[in-house]
Structure 1
Amino acid sequence: MDTDRFPYWLKIVIAIVLCNIVGIAASTVTLDAIPGWYASLNKPPFNPPNWLFGPVWTTLYVLMGISAAMIWQLGLKRRDVKHALSVFGIQLMLNGIWSYLFFGFQSPLLAFIEILLLLGVIILTMIRFKDLKPLAAWLLVPYLLWVSFASILNFSIYLLN
């Protein structure tokens, strides 16, 4: 199937849905852990309320999907586009894995190590996207900022527990 022939709007929808599927999959371990294990942890004073995470992540997944679709629109026959989207796919996978490490395995330390890797791959994704379409990279800035904050929060929870 030649997905390069998909209309741009369909690429946006597919990319947004794909990003949100990762979030939904990750939420299967997150939602069960919040009232029990996570509630029992010592958290820093800057820990956001639990209700904030859903809307923030949904927004970030939408921005990520639009960003990826902008790159996809350039054509999958291009090697640089394939490479950029491969890096994007790796960061998306790492994004989902974090929830399994933190909430599923209940390991703030492993999750912190993994989130540092995630940050690096987000930055690499942004660099690759910037070379192809700068706006696509800029759309990932809120994601980078949130994951940076999440890294600090993750490390703080590790230290406090």
Structure 2
Amino acid sequence: MGRKTEQKVRTYHRYLGFFLAGIMAVYAISGIVLTYRNTDYLKKEVLVESKLAIGLQDEDLGRALGKRAFKVDKTEGNLVYFEGGTYDKITGQASYIEMKMPLILDNMNKLHKMHSGHPLYWLNIFFGIALLFFAVSAFWMFKPKTPIFKKGLYFALGGIVLTVVLLFV
């Protein structure tokens, strides 16, 4: 590649990096926080009061509450007891404790886990393409004959090997 192309790639790499610094920080923080999603780390108890359909059966109640591993502890009359809450079969009133992240961390996690049904999913596609560009354009940051470039190739190879190992563990 010519000197002009090399300079353009370096310029795009630099300014795209500055532009995406904020979103990269959000993905980094939310990625770390998501590692602990199966624990109560950073979460706080929130009392949830909701009106559900009347007379729900156990499995339907779990679905209505959005709880995957739902289990009824006991039923006394019209009151159903489950972990952290109750449900009244006559009124449909449910009251339970839910563990929630602080709002900003919860929103970061939602952004990180966005799917194609979300109206802003195209931002994730753009971000993924930008990260792929970073990975490839990093090889234009130094001239191929320099020692730092050659050393960089060893680090890149090490990263590729580590990634392959992690994919099969």
Between Structure 1 and Structure 2, the one with more strand by share is 2
Higher relative contact order (CA 8 A, sep 6+): 1
**Structure of larger gyration radius:** 2
Q: What TM-score, normalized by structure 2, do the two folds share?
A: 0.25
Between Structure 1 and Structure 2, the one with more helix by share is 1
